[in-house]
C-alpha cells in the first residue's frame, strides 16, 4: 500500500478561537460536556481517523478565550472517551514543567491499558508565565531550563514505562507465582531535576509505550522532537514554512540516529469548506468580520505572555517588540514577529491573521483535497490535525473531502490496526531490559 | 424515610489480600482489566450501592501483594467507569504528599463533571517511606508534617474548586457574553507548603464539590477527618473498636462546628457468606490455611514500612517493636500492636489475623445481615465499604444479604438521587463567594 495520510481530530469543545462558540451549532457548555466529546470522538472514529487530540494549558485570566476558561482535563477526558470508541488513538497534552514524572508515567500507562494500546502524550513545557503562580513558583522556569527539564522528565517517564518486561507476570495459579521478579526493574534515576527509584506499579500495553507527541517549533522544541517525538502537532500556517519545518525535523531526526519515518508530522488545520472556492472565501471574510478586535488582540498577546497589544495604534505597522515572547510560546511568538515583518502587516491585520492558531485550508472540497495532497506529496506533512468545532464543518470534511482523498488512494477505507502505533506506522517499543537481555544472549535484535 | 445504610464497593482487581488472586473466578489480569472493573461497577450500581471505591498507593517492592504490583491508576480508571454507569458514586484515593493541588483539583473537578456529580476524593498522606524515592525526596515526609501538608493541600483544592460561582457562565451568544468576570475568583493562597494563585480552569458540578473521604485512624487522621471528611473509610476490625472510633469522630466533628450527620463512617468489610454459620467459618479457616505465611509476614510488615518480620520466631509472642511504624501507616501499626498485646497473639496468629485489612463478617446471610444491622443501629457505623474480589462473593452479598437488609427497611430499593452527595445525604456545597455575597446583601443563608 502506498504511503497513507495520517489524520487527527483536535477536539476543542467550544473552539480555541475567541468567536467559535458563537456558532448556533455549538452548545455553550461544549468544553465541559462529556457527551459532546464522546459523540465527536465517535464521528472521528467512524471516519477512520488515526487519533483524537486534546490541547491544554494550566493557566487562565478572565480574558482567556472561552475554551480555556472552563474545560475538562485531558487525561480524565480521554479515559472517558476510551469506552465510547475502540480503534481511534487518544492523545492528551500534559506539561513537564509542573508535574511529577511518576504520576505522569502512571496515568498515561493507565490510559494506554484502559484503551488497549491507543494512548499518546503530547509533551509541552507550558509557555505562559502565569502558570508558575499555580504551582508555587515566584517565576516561570525560563525557556532553556524548561526544555532541559522536559528532556529529563521524558527520560524518566519512558524509563518507568519499561519497569516490567512483557513476560513479567506468569500469573500461574497452580504454582502461586504471580510475578517473575527478574522481569521487574527499578529505575534509580538521579538527575538535575528528578530523582526517581521506581519501579512503576503498572505494566505496558500492547503497543509497548504510549506514543510521544511534541508541538514545539522553537530551536529547543525541534531538538527535543528530533530525540523523542514520534508524532508532531506542528503549528505552521503556510506551505513554505511547513515544508522547511518538515525537512528540518526529518533531517534532525536522522542525525539523532532515528528513522525519520518514525516521526509523523501533522500540521494543525481548520478547513473552511463550501460548494465553491468563492463561497468559502466569503465565509472566511465573514468570520473575520465577526471577530471582536479587542479579544483578537488579547489572543494575539497570548504567545507573548499576554502582552497588552491594546496600547498600540491598530492601523500602524506591527509594533517592534524586541525579545518579548522569548520566554513564552517562543516559537509562536517568533513566527508572528517574522510574518508581520515580512508581510508588512498592521497590528489589525496581524490580529486577524493569527486569530486562530490553525491554517485555514479554504475552498471547495476539491480545492481542499488538492491542497492536502500537495502538502502531503511535496514533503510538507505526513497528514494533518483537523480542528473540530461545529459538527457541520467536520461533516463537510469527512463527507466531502475525505471521499476525494480516498479516491486519490491517500486515506484508509477501514482500520487495519487497533493501536495508535499501528495506525501511525510506528513500531511497538521493545522493552529496554528485554533488549539488553537479547544483546547479552547474542540473539538477533528486531529492526 | 428512616435512616438508611450507605454501601460502598471497594473494587480491588485481583484483591488486596496476598492469596485472593488464586481464586479460579478471578482473572490474573483483573487489576489492569478495564472490562472487569466496568462489569463490577455495573453490578454494584444494579444493587443500588452508593459508591465504588478505589484504594491506592504509589510505591511497590518485588514483595508487594499482586494487586499493588500492577494496577490501573484511580482517576483514569474511574473516568473510564463513569461512562458505564449513571448513578453510582466514584471515589478515588490520591495522596496529598506527592501531588500538586492545582492538578488534583482539576482532575477531580473533571471527573465530577464527566460523571455529572458523582466524584469523591479519598485523601491519604501515603504511609510508605519508600514512596519518597519515587518523588525526588531523600526521606519520607514525617507523619506530623504529612498531615499538616494534607490540611493545606485540601484547603487549596477546595478553594480552587470554588473558582467559578454557579452562575459564572451566562453563555449569551446574542450579546457575545460567555463569562461573567465578577463570578470568577482567584485564590491567591500563600502557605507553608503551597502558593497557588488560581483561578482553576474548570467549573463546579451539580453537587458543588467532590465529596471528601478520609481513611486515617491515627490522632492526626482523626483531627483531619473532623475538619474535612464527609465520608470515612474506617479501618477498624471489630465492633468495640468501631463503636469507639465512630463516637470519637462524630464528637470531634461536632466540636469542629460541623454537623456530625455530614460525616458518613463506612468501615471496610470482606464478608464470608455461606448457607450456614458453620460452613462460613470453615471457609474462613480454609482461606487461612491457604495463606502463604512468608507473604503474610510481608503484608503484616507493610504498615511498619515493610519491616522484616521473618527475623522473629513464629510461635513466640508478637515482638516488641518500640515506636516502629509511627512514620508509616501509624494508625494501623498502632492498632496491630495493641491487638497483639491485648489478645496475647503470637507472630503467626497476628500474621493470619491481619492478612487482609478488612473485617470478616462471617456467617449465614442472616448472621451477616444481623451483624450489619447491629453495627448500624448501635452506633458503630453508617454503613460499610464492601470489598469486592470474586464475583460469587459479591453476588452472595447482593442476592442473599441485601434482600434481608431491605426487608429490615435499612437499604434503598431504588436510587432517589443521581449524585454522590445525594446518595450519602450530604448537602451540596454552596460556593464560598456566592455565600459571601449573600452575607454582604443581608440575604438568608441556606442551612
Q: What is the mean pLDDT of residues A312-325?
A: 87
Fill in the DSSP letter of residue A207. T
Can you give the pLDDT at residue A74?
A: 98
Looking at beta carbons, which residues of chain B come within 8 Å of A133?
A: 195-197
> To the nearest whole percent, how much of chain A has pLDDT over 70?
98
Q: Looking at the partner chain, which of A28, A38, A84 has a beta carbon nearest the beta carbon of B169?
A: A28
Which pLDDT score is estimated for B446? 64
CB contact under 8 A, B195 and A75: no
Tell me what percent of the residues of chain A surpass a pLDDT of 90: 71
pLDDT at B335 over 90: no
Contact at CB, A292 and B176, closer than 8 angstroms? yes
DSSP A401: I
Q: Is the confidence at residue B291, as pLDDT, over 80?
A: no
CA distance B311 to B38: 42
Query: For residues B438 and B447, what is the distance between their CA atoms, to the nearest angstrom?
Result: 13
Going from the C-alpha of A130 to that of each of A144, A300, A305, the distances in angstroms are: 17, 16, 8
Cα–Cα dist B46/B388, whole Å: 14
Beta strands in A303-394 (DSSP E): 362-363, 383-388
Q: What is the DSSP secondary structure assignment for residue A230, as one 8-state letter?
A: S
* Contact between residue A261 and residue A4 where contact means Cβ atoms under 8 Å apart: no
Q: Does B344 touch chain A (CB under 8 A)?
A: no
The pLDDT value given to residue A328: 72
CA distance A330 to chain B (A): 23
Contact of A103 with chain B, judged by CB distance below 8 Å, is answered with yes
Q: What is the rounded average pLDDT of the residues A221-249?
A: 92
Confidence of residue A447 (pLDDT cuts 50, 70, 90): low
| Out of A136-140, B257-261, B291-295, B343-347, least confident range | A136-140
**Contact state of A70 with B164 under an 8 Å Cβ cutoff:** yes
Residues of B in contact with A103 (CB under 8 A): 58, 98-99
Residue A383, sorted as left (phi over 0), alpha (psi -120 to 50) or beta, turns out to be left
Residue B47 and residue A117: Cα distance in Å, rounded? 32
Count of residues making up chain A: 447
Q: Which residue has the higher pLDDT, A167 or B438?
A: A167
Strands A272-273 and A362-363: parallel
The set of cell numbers assigned to B141 is 515526609
B153 is in an annotated binding site: no
Interface predicted TM-score (ipTM): 0.93
Q: Which one of B57, B114, B135 makes the best mutation probe of the A interface by having the most chain A beta carbons within 10 Å?
A: B114
Distance from C-alpha of A32 to C-alpha of A58, rounded to nearest angstrom: 16
Hey, what long-range contacts does A313-318 have (CB within 8 A, 24 or more apart)?
Answer: A313/A347, A314/A346, A314/A347, A314/A348, A315/A346, A315/A347, A315/A348, A316/A346, A316/A347, A317/A344, A317/A345, A317/A346, A317/A347, A318/A345, A318/A346, A318/A347, A318/A349, A318/A350
Q: What residue segments make up the domains of chain A, in order of their start?
A: 6-276+358-434, 292-353
The 3-state DSSP class for residue B213 equals strand
Select from B105, B98, B258, B256 the least CA-distant residue to B189.
B105
Residue B111 with chain A: CB contacts under 8 Å: 76
**Partner A contacted by B76 (CB < 8 A):** yes
User: Which of B279, B285, B277 is CA-nearest to residue B367?
Assistant: B277
Between CA B125 and CA B147 the distance in angstroms is 7
Task: Give the whole-angstrom CA distance, residue A74 versus residue A71.
Answer: 9
**Torsional sign, CA A292, A294, A295, A297:** positive
d(C-alpha A152, C-alpha A145), whole Å: 11
Question: What pLDDT shows up at residue B447?
Answer: 57
Tell me: the pLDDT tens digits for B348-396? 888 888 876 566 799 999 999 999 999 999 999 999 999 988 999 999 9
CA A1 to chain centre: 26
Given CB atoms, is B173 within the 8 Å cutoff of chain A? Answer: yes
Beta-carbon separation of B136 and A66 below 8 A: no
Question: What is the DSSP-derived secondary structure letter of residue B186?
Answer: -
Better-predicted residue by pLDDT, B370 or B2:
B370
Task: Determine the longest span between alpha carbons in chain B, in angstroms.
Answer: 80
The pLDDT score that the predictor gives to residue B237 is: 77
**Cα B160 to Cα A446: distance, rounded to the nearest angstrom:** 49
Angle between the N-to-C axes of helices B239-255 and B365-377, in degrees from 0 to 180, rounded to the nearest 10: 30
B218 is in an annotated binding site: yes
* Residues shown for chain B: 447
pLDDT attached to residue A1: 63
How wide is the angle at C-alpha B104 spanned by C-alphas B67 and A217, nearest 5°?
A: 105
Contact of A169 with A180, CB cutoff 8 Å: yes
B-chain CB neighbours of A60 within 8 Å are 199, 201
Q: Tell whether B134 is within 8 A of chain A (Cβ).
A: yes
How far is it, in rounded angstroms, from Cα A122 to Cα B61? 30
Rounded Cα gap, residues B35 and A80, in angstroms: 13
Please give the Cα distance from A151 to A148 (Å, whole number): 5
Radius of gyration of chain B (CA): 22
Question: What is the rounded average pLDDT for all residues in chain B?
Answer: 92
Calculate mean pLDDT across residues A105-109: 98
| Contact pairs from chain A to chain B, CB under 8 Å | 194
Q: Is B205's pLDDT higher than 70? A: yes
Strand-pair partners of B120: B91, B211
Contacts of B134 in chain A (CB under 8 A): 102, 196-198
State how far the Cα of A373 lies from the Cα of A405, in Å rounded to an integer. Answer: 8
E-assigned strands of A106-197?
A: 119-124, 189-190, 195-196
Sequential DSSP letters for A125-141: ----GGGGGGGT-SSPP
Contact B230, B261 (CB under 8 A): no
Interval A116-128 mean pLDDT: 93
Instruction: Note whether B275 contacts A: Cβ–Cβ < 8 A.
Output: no
Q: How far is A186 from chain B (nearest CA, A)?
A: 9
Select from B69, B80, B130 the Cβ nearest to the Cβ of A80.
B80
Question: Has residue A123 got a pLDDT over 80?
Answer: yes
d(CA A130, CA A338): 25
Examine the pLDDT at A217 and tell me if it is beyond 90: no
In terms of Cα–Cα distance, which of B271, B274, B250 is closest to B262? Answer: B250
Interface probe, candidates A16, A22, A92, A136, chain B, greatest B C-beta count within 10 A? A136
Alpha-carbon separation of residue A227 from A100, A222, A256, B107, B319 (angstroms): 21, 9, 6, 30, 54
Measured in whole angstroms, how far is the alpha carbon of residue A142 from the centre of its chain?
Answer: 22
Taking only the tens place, the pLDDT of each residue in A247-271 is 999 999 999 999 999 999 999 999 9
Give the phi and the psi of residue B301 in degrees, each rounded to 5.
Answer: -75, -15
- Enter the DSSP assignment of B287: H
Are B80 and A84 within 8 A, CB to CB? no
- Predicted confidence (pLDDT) at residue A358 exceeds the cutoff of 80: no
Q: How far is B242 from chain A (nearest CA, A)?
A: 32
Interface of A with B in 186-225 (CB under 8 A): 194-199, 201-203
Fold of A6-276+358-434: TIM Barrel (3.20.20)
**pLDDT above 70 covers what percent of chain B?**
98
Q: Which helix (H) or strand (E) is A214 found in, with range?
A: strand A211-214
Tell me what the mean pLDDT of segment B138-158 comes to.
Answer: 90
Q: What is the DSSP letter of B209?
A: S
* A58 in B contact zone (CB under 8 Å): yes
Confidence at residue B357, expressed as pLDDT on a 0 to 100 scale: 57
Cis amide leading into A199 (omega within 30): yes
Residues 227-266 of A with CB under 8 A from B: none
The residues that bridge with A233 in the sheet, in sequence order, are A266
Higher pLDDT, A141 or B281: B281
Alpha carbon A149 to chain centroid distance? 19
Instruction: Check A113 against B34: CB less than 8 A apart.
Output: yes
Q: Which of A133-142, A399-408, B411-420, B434-443 has the lowest mean pLDDT?
A: A133-142
The gap between the terminal CA atoms of chain A, to the nearest Å, is: 20
Q: What is the pLDDT of residues B171-196, one digit of tens each?
A: 999 999 999 999 999 999 999 999 99
Contact A72/B110, CB-based, under 8 Å? yes
Task: Report the range out of A217-221, A411-415, B144-148 with the highest average pLDDT.
Answer: A411-415
Selected for mutation to probe chain B from A181, A201, A290, A306 (highest B CB count within 10 Å) is A201
Q: CB–CB of A181 and B106 under 8 A?
A: no
Q: Does A13 touch chain B (CB under 8 A)?
A: no
Q: Give A391 to chain B, closest Cα distance, Å.
A: 18
Kindly report the average pLDDT of chain A as a whole number: 92
The residues in B 291-310 lying below 8 A from A, measured between CB atoms, are 292
At B398-413, the pLDDT tens digits run: 999 999 999 999 999 9
Residue A133 touches chain B, beta carbons under 8 Å: yes
- Check residue A356 and give its pLDDT: 64
Amino acid at each position: 500500500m502506498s504511503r497513507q495520510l495520517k489524520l487527527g481530530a483536535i477536539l476543542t469543545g467550544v473552539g480555541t478561537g475567541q468567536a467559535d462558540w458563537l456558532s448556533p451549532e455549538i452548545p455553550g457548555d461544549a468544553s465541559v460536556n462529556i457527551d459532546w466529546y464522546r459523540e465527536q470522538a465517535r464521528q472521528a472514529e467512524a471516519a477512520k481517523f488515526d487519533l483524537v487530540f486534546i490541547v491544554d494549558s494550566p493557566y487562565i485570566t478572565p480574558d482567556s478565550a472561552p475554551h480555556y476558561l472552563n474545560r475538562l482535563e485531558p487525561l480524565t477526558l480521554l479515559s472517558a472517551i476510551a469506552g465510547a470508541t475502540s480503534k481511534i488513538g487518544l492523545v492528551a497534552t500534559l506539561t513537564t514543567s509542573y508535574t511529577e514524572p511518576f504520576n505522569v508515567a502512571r496515568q498515561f500507562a493507565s490510559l494506554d491499558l484502559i484503551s488497549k494500546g491507543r494512548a499518546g502524550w503530547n509533551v509541552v513545557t507550558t509557555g505562559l508565565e502565569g502558570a508558575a503562580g499555580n504551582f508555587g513558583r515566584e517565576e516561570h522556569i525560563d525557556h532553556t531550563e524548561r526544555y532541559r527539564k522536559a528532556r529529563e522528565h521524558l527520560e524518566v517517564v519512558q524509563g518507568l514505562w519499561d519497569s516490567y518486561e512483557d513476560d513479567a507476570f506468569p500469573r500461574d495459579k497452580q504454582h502461586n507465582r504471580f510475578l517473575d521478579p527478574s522481569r521487574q526493574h527499578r529505575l534509580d534515576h538521579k538527575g538535575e531535576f528528578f530523582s526517581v527509584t521506581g519501579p512503576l506499579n503498572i505494566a505496558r500495553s500492547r503497543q509497548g509505550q504510549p506514543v510521544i507527541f511534541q508541538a514545539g517549533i522553537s530551536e529547543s522544541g525541534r531538538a527535543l522532537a528530533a530525540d523523542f517525538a514520534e508524532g508532531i502537532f506542528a503549528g505552521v500556517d503556510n506551505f513554505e514554512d511547513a515544508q522547511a519545518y518538515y525537512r528540518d525535523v526529518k533531517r534532525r531526526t536522522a542525525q539523532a540516529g532515528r528513522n525519520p519515518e518514525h516521526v509523523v508530522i501533522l500540521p494543525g488545520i481548520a478547513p473552511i469548506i463550501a460548494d465553491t472556492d468563492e463561497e468559502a472565501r466569503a465565509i472566511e471574510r465573514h468570520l473575520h468580520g465577526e471577530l471582536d478586535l479587542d479579544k483578537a488582540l488579547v489572543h494575539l498577546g497570548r504567545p507573548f505572555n499576554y502582552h497588552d497589544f491594546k496600547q498600540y495604534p491598530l492601523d500602524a505597522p506591527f509594533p517592534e517588540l524586541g525579545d518579548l515572547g522569548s520566554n513564552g510560546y517562543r516559537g509562536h511568538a517568533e513566527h508572528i514577529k517574522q510574518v508581520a515583518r515580512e508581510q508588512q502587516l498592521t497590528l489589525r491585520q496581524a490580529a486577524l491573521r493569527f486569530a486562530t492558531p490553525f491554517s485555514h485550508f479554504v475552498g471547495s472540497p476539491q480545492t481542499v483535497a488538492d491542497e492536502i495532497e500537495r502538502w502531503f506529496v511535496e514533503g510538507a506533512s505526513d497528514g494533518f490535525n483537523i480542528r473540530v468545532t461545529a459538527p457541520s464543518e467536520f461533516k463537510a470534511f469527512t463527507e466531502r473531502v475525505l471521499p476525494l482523498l480516498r479516491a486519490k488512494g491517500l486515506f484508509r477505507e477501514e482500520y487495519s490496526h487497533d493501536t495508535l502505533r499501528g495506525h501511525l506506522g510506528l513500531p511497538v517499543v521493545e522493552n529496554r531490559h528485554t533488549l539488553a537481555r537479547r544483546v547479552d544472549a547474542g540473539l538477533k535484535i528486531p529492526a
